[in-house]
Amino acid sequence: MNQSADHQRIARIDSDFKSWGTRCAGWLYQPAGMNRPPVVIMAHGFAGERTFGLPAFAERFARNGMAVFLFDYRNFGDSDGKPRNLVDPFRHCQDWEAALEHVRHLPDIDAERIALWGTSLSGGHVIVTAAHNPDVRAIVAQIPYVAPNMELFGFRDSLKAYCAAYRDLGRKLTGRDPYCVPVVGDIGTFAMLNTPECKEGYKSFIPGDSSWENRVPARLMFKTPFYTPMRLAKRVVCPALLIAAENDSLIPSETVKKVASRMLRGEFEQLPCNHFAPYQGEFFERIVQLETEFLCTHLETK
């Protein structure tokens, strides 16, 4: 890995793009002293924003000789689009395709050395995107969503979720503001994420000055349960690093391991932590080291 003084200096510039006619906000991290570096494209997980723990990863990769393109999906963060916080994995994958096309035309980077990095829900998106783009050099899927976890919701919560979804659909059809449900909540309360680690873990990486609201349009229930990236695992031909959390209450590590085994060049790692631990502290250091070494190897940084 490159650790020269030049590589410790990073420039970050705005680099927005359009996805289906809507502006998506992007940041391009450029390592100083690098001529046409490879680039890693990154985006956030479920209902998050690019500022939620991701800049630390982007800066570490940039210090090791890689440019990084970090973006918000439509309807999230600094991007345009309404309703806000609309979770739709199929729309997100459209944004990944648009971001990839944007990056391929950026000056001063090597468009033939592109990697994709995703975490949680976006960990599934990088699998889907790589399956459709065999020229991608490598992917990192960190604690990735690879298939619906049917054990998360009991009957009562499932009923509440679908009732909320139909209520939201009615508001959409009549031109009213969306009916929203909480992203995270306490154990025993109704929320999309309400296992023991979720509320404290999710809120731990939200910046103090964020205007993010803990709510998503309930119509997500018509899309997310039918999104299964693992079905495309065999079509991923590039080197792929999948990292699971042993104590993850949202995404079973055995399922992630199974997906890695289906890939032509899949690698699997597991850390003894929960779903939200990799964004800071000891587990951030361990996971970013694994990812940096993997990306440097397959993007051939010098």
Query: The dihedral of CA 72, 73, 76, 79: what is its sign?
Result: positive
| 242 DSSP β-pair partners | 141, 268
- With a CB cutoff of 8 Å and minimum separation 6, the contacts of 241 are 138, 139, 140, 141, 267, 269, 290, 291, 294
Is the per-residue pLDDT at 4 higher than 70?
no
Work out the average pLDDT over 123-147: 98
Q: Which pLDDT score is estimated for 179?
A: 98
- 215 within 8 A of 181, measured Cβ to Cβ: yes
Q: Which pLDDT score is estimated for 302?
A: 64
Report yes or no on whether pTM surpasses 0.85: yes
Dist CA 276 CA 248 (whole Å): 8
Farthest CA pair distance, the chain: 58
Going through the chain in order, the beta strands assigned E by DSSP cover: 10-14, 17-19, 22-24, 26-31, 39-43, 67-71, 114-119, 138-142, 180-181, 216-217, 240-245, 266-271
**Helix (H) / strand (E) containing 60:** helix 54-63
Q: Which pLDDT score is estimated for 152?
A: 83
Measured between alpha carbons, how far is residue 23 from residues 26, 38, 89, 271 in Å? 9, 24, 18, 37
Is the per-residue pLDDT at 6 higher than 70?
no
Render pLDDT for 68-111 as a digit per residue (tens, 0 to 9).
999 999 999 999 999 999 999 999 999 999 999 999 999 999 99
- With a CB cutoff of 8 Å and minimum separation 6, the contacts of 282 are none
Q: Which CATH class is domain 6-156+228-299?
A: alpha beta
- Beta-strand pair 138-142/216-217: unpaired
Dist CA 92 CA 111 (whole Å): 22
